[in-house]
Amino acid sequence: MGKFYAWSEAIIHPMTHALHYGNSVFEGIRAYKTPKGPAVFRLNEHMDRFMHSAGILKMKSPYSKKEIIEVIKSVIKQNDLESAYIRPLLFYSYGNLGLIPKSSPVELLVGAWEWGAYLGENALKGVYVYILPWRRVHHSQYDMSAKLGGIYVQSTICGLIAREKGCDEAVFLNLEKNVAEGPGENIFICKNGVLKTNDKSESVLEGITRSSLLEIADDLGIKTQIAPITKQDFLEADEAFFSGTAAEIAPITKAKDASEKDAPVKDHVIGSGKPGEITKKISETYSDCVRGKIKKYQQWLTYVG
Ligand code: PMP
pLDDT digits (tens, 9 = 90+) for 218-231: 999 999 999 999 99
Mean pLDDT of the chain: 97
Counting other chains too, the contacts that 283-287 makes at CB distance below 8 Å and 24 or more residues apart are: 283/124, 283/241, 283/248, 283/249, 283/251, 285/216, 285/220, 286/209, 286/212, 286/213, 286/216, 286/248, 286/249, 287/248
Q: Which residues line ligand 1 (CB under 6 A)?
A: 28, 181, 184-186, 205, 207-210, 243-245
Does 125 share its domain with 104? no
CATH number of the domain encompassing residue 75: 3.30.470.10
pLDDT for the residue numbered 305:
87
Q: How confident is the model at residue 289 (pLDDT cuts 50, 70, 90)?
A: very high
In a domain, 301, yes or no: no
Indicate the residue among 52, 78, 113 that finishes a domain. 113
Same-domain status, 168 and 128:
yes
CA dist 222 to 195, 217, 298, Å?
Answer: 7, 5, 21
pLDDT classification of 121: cutoffs 50, 70, 90 = confident
Same structural domain, 216 and 101:
no
Residue 220 to residue 188: CA distance in whole angstroms? 16
Q: Which of 33, 58, 66, 147 is catalytic?
A: 147
Do 125 and 270 fall within a single domain?
yes
Does 67 reside within a domain? yes
For residue 147, indicate whether it is catalytic: yes
Residue 287 CA to residue 259 CA, distance in Å, equals 33
Residue among 85, 185, 283, 290 whose CB has most ligand 1 atoms within 8 A, to mutate:
185
Q: What's the pLDDT at 183?
A: 98
Shortest CA distance to 182 belongs to which of 196, 168, 166, 165?
168
> For the segment 28-79, what is each residue's pLDDT rounded down to a tens digit?
999 999 999 999 999 999 999 999 999 999 999 999 999 999 999 999 999 9
Quick one: 133 and 274 in the same domain? yes
Q: How far is the CA of 96 from the centre of ligand 1 (A)?
A: 31
61 and 108 Cβ atoms separated by less than 8 Å: yes
Average pLDDT over residues 85-95: 98
pLDDT value at residue 104: 98
Same structural domain, 126 and 68: no
In the listed set 90, 113, 136, which residue is the last one of a domain according to the structure?
Answer: 113
The answer as to whether 283 is a domain residue is yes
Model confidence band, residue 171 (pLDDT cutoffs 50, 70, 90): very high
Together in a domain, 39 and 186: no
Please report the pLDDT score of residue 226 as a whole number. 98
- Residue ranges of the alpha helices (H) in 165-276? 208-219, 231-235
Containing H/E element for 91? strand 84-92
Domain of 48 in residue numbering reads as: 17-113
**Which residue CA neighbors atom 13 of ligand 1 most closely?**
207
Q: Are residues 129 and 51 in the same domain?
A: no
Mutating to test ligand 1, I would choose from 24, 25, 89, 186 the residue with most ligand atoms within 8 A of its C-beta, which is 186
Last residue of a domain, one of 74, 92, 113: 113
Q: Is 180 in the same domain as 57?
A: no
Domains of the chain: total: 2
Answer whether residue 59 is part of any domain: yes
Q: What are phi and psi of 59, to 5 degrees?
A: -95, 140
pTM of the model: 0.97
Q: CATH number of the domain that 136 lies in? A: 3.20.10.10
